[in-house]
Structure formats: structure tokens, C-alpha cells
Copies of this chain bind each other. A is one copy, B any other.
Amino acid sequence: MVQRTLSSDLLGKAGHPARIEGWIHRRRQLATISFLILRDRSGLAQVVVSDEATRQQLDGLGEETVVRVDGIVSANAKAPGGVELTAPSITELSAPAATPPVELWRPTLSSGLPTLLDYAPITWRHPVQQAIWRLAAASLQGFRGALDVQDFTEVHTPKLVAGSTESGANVFTVDYFGRPAYLAQSPQFYKQMMVGVFERVYEVGPVFRAEPHDTVRHLAEYVSLDAELGFIQDHRDVLSVLRNVMAAMVESVCSTAADAVECCGAKVPDVPETIPVIHFRDALQLVGADPDEPDLAPEHERMLGQWALDTYGSDFLAVEGYPAAKRPFYTHSEPGDPRWTNSFDLLFRGLELVTGGQRLHELADYEAALEARGESTEGYESYLQTFRHGMPPHGGFAIGLERWTARLIETDNIRRATLFPRDLHRISP
């Protein structure tokens, strides 16, 4: 049987017959000759059709029809990839396709966001769109690779949970065999429990936030890259692991998706050997904010990002020491000053990309932290069980995959970096 050749492999077959298979990306019919551009997972290939019967056949096959083309590989410096297929015979592998909702063959998709999203199963076929997701896929490989070599164990923890992780707000309720259950807002509690088992764990999986606001930065469901590790000194050890993870993600993007980087014009950062750190208190001062501000406004984050670039030549800046009032109850205080915490946000190009820090590890501290917030330990029993039976100092972080990809391509809207975004208004496709 004749084997299929990928379009990227045609160059090595010049002078020989070859079979290619893929989508009709574009047709151009001239007076005596037609061109067929075929798209497969490796790229584009040009097919030259001069035979009249085959030209007529091609006339009836709309863009996106799936075909097999058998022909002769011929060198042509002007064709994409330096070769083209001549003397082709075309076999239809799908019925003629309906006209796509967008012109996939154009170099860039000019459609607005609603069209992109409404027709996502089709619009992701555009080479530039494909490239965006390939950045995400390559980043995932880098994330796991970096943690695998550091002895982390991959875990998969439940998304159906009995209580909410962070607070009662923004949680989706599920009808669980007639009782209420919830969708996990993060694997936080479970990854901490698993630190008690494997010391170092990571998870890549969906998290759910019933975000009631329609913003360009938030999704109702996104992919969270979570890591957690025990036997740390403090949050700086966590930041150090995070730095290596970010570097590995960048390295993976550059090595396995270099063509995608070029195709979608992604701006891949350098990750400095040591990520610069500024204390929250000093960050407020730097941006001229009120010293009593409990959080950084987006405008402040942008200013800090610019400052890090100017001062350190770094796209990354860690802000540490966030006020306890703005951090979850499991956050470890700063030794000596309980107003602040051993936590950080990692800003990437002036936007929050990662949240991390050291967690409490003593049962008594958890009980005190909950009481200080006027919460009872009810609903936290199995979580607190973990700390009753010995836990090391530990911490971790969570990277939002879509935020990361969105920053790489410098888009204004996170939905452009999400395969099938979910938000207040959208549950389909």
C-alpha cells in the first residue's frame, strides 16, 4: 500500500511519486492550470493541476474538503517548502465541504472574537490559531518535564468536592445524586494532602470559577498548572522551583514549537536566573499608592512590570509579602510580622500570572486562622486531618495556562488563548 507522506517531508522525495492527505486549504483556478494548496498537520503543500478532468473535479470540491492526492514530487523554488506535487490524481476522503464561516486560507483571520468563538471547531483550523494552541501544548510538556526530573509525582484529584476551597463565593453547585456538591475552584487542599504522601506533587487539570463578571482576564473554567512541595524553608524556595518551571516551559516552546512561535508571532521571554523580588510594601511605595492599600490595582501591576523591565531587564517580577487580609486562610505569615505573608504573585509583563506561597503546616495554626476569620472548622475536617498527623513546612503555586499563552501572544483577551472558553455568557461550543 502506498504510504502517506506529510507535506513537510515532501522535499526529500523530489523526483518520486508521493501521496499526501489533508484539507483543501485553497484553490486558485487560472486559465489553463489550477493550484490546490493542501493543509495537513505538518503544514501546507502545493499541488499543480493541469489535466482538464482533474481541474473540473477540483472545481466541485470546496475549501476544507478532505482529499488524498497522488502525484509526482517536483522541485519548485517558488512553491511553499520548495516542492510541489504535479500530475495529481485526487481522491475525495469526505463529501465536498460547505463553505467555511471564515476564510481559513487568508494569512490572518480578521474575524471578530464572537465569530472566532462561535465557530471554534472550524476557526482553530487556521494555521495561526493552531500555532497559538501549540504554544500551550509545548508549555505543558515543559511544565511536567521540569517537575518530573525534580522528583515530583503527578496526581489527579477530584473536581467534585463537598465544600468550596477558598471561600463560598464563585463556586458552581452540582446536583450530586440529589445532594449539593461543588466544582473544585482549585486542587489546593488535595495537593497539600498529597504533599503528606509524596512530598512533591503536581497536577494539570481544570478548575472552575463562577466568575460573575465579564472581563478579558477571567474564565469560568480554565486549566491550572499546580505544584506543591514539602520541606521548604519558606516561599522563596517555592519561587525558585517556579523559576525553573517557567524556564523549562519557555525552553519547550522554543525547542518543540519554534515554527508555531514564528507563525503566530509570539514574543517568548527570557527567564532570568533569579527572578527579581519586591516586597508588597515597597511595591506600594514604588507606584505611589497608599501604604494601607490591601492589594495592587491592575494599573499598579503594569507600572511594576515596566519597572522590572527597566531596572532588571526582566519580563518577570515577584511581589512577595501580600497582606494577610487578602490571602486565603491557609497562607503562612511572614515570621516576625503577621501583617504580611510568605506569599507572592508572579507578574509577567505587568500582569498576574502565578500565585504562590508558603502554607500553614500546623493544625493549631489552621484552627487559629479559621477562628480569626470567624469560620468554624466544619467542612474542613478531612483537610485538617492531614495536619493532625504531621506535615512538613510546604508551599506551592498555580499557573493559569490560558493567561500564560495569552501573554505569549500578547492578546488583550484570554479567550483567544482558550480552545473553548466558558464564561458568564458562553457554554458552547
Contacts and interface: CB of A to CB of B under 8 A. Distances in A.
Nearest to A96: B390
Contacts of A141: 148, 154
Contact of A389 (B4, B100, B392): B100
B386 A122 contact: yes
Contacts of A157: 419-420
A217 to B, nearest CB: 18
Contacts of A162: 427-428
Interface stretch (A78-86, A304-312, A317-325, A357-365): A357-365
Given A155-B419, A160-B427, A429-B382, A121 B193 contact: yes
A214 to B, nearest CB: 11
A393 interface: yes
Contact of A175 (B120, B172, B386): B172
Given A205-B206, A206-B205, A429-B382, A124 B94 contact: no
Interface in A62-111: 64-66, 93-95, 97-98, 100
Interface stretch (A46-54, A176-184, A288-296): A176-184
A177 B130 contact: no
A200 B199 CA distance: 35
Interface in A118-153: 119-122, 124-125, 129-130, 133-134, 137, 140-141, 148, 151, 153
Nearest to A100: B389
A422 B386 CA distance: 19
Contacts of A220: 160, 176-177
Contacts of A155: 133, 137, 419
24 contacts: A66-B392, A93-B393, A94-B391, A95-B362, A120-B382, A121-B382, A122-B389, A124-B196, A125-B196, A133-B197, A141-B148, A159-B206, A159-B208, A159-B221, A160-B172, A160-B208, A160-B220, A160-B221, A160-B427, A161-B428, A172-B176, A176-B220, A190-B420, A204-B204
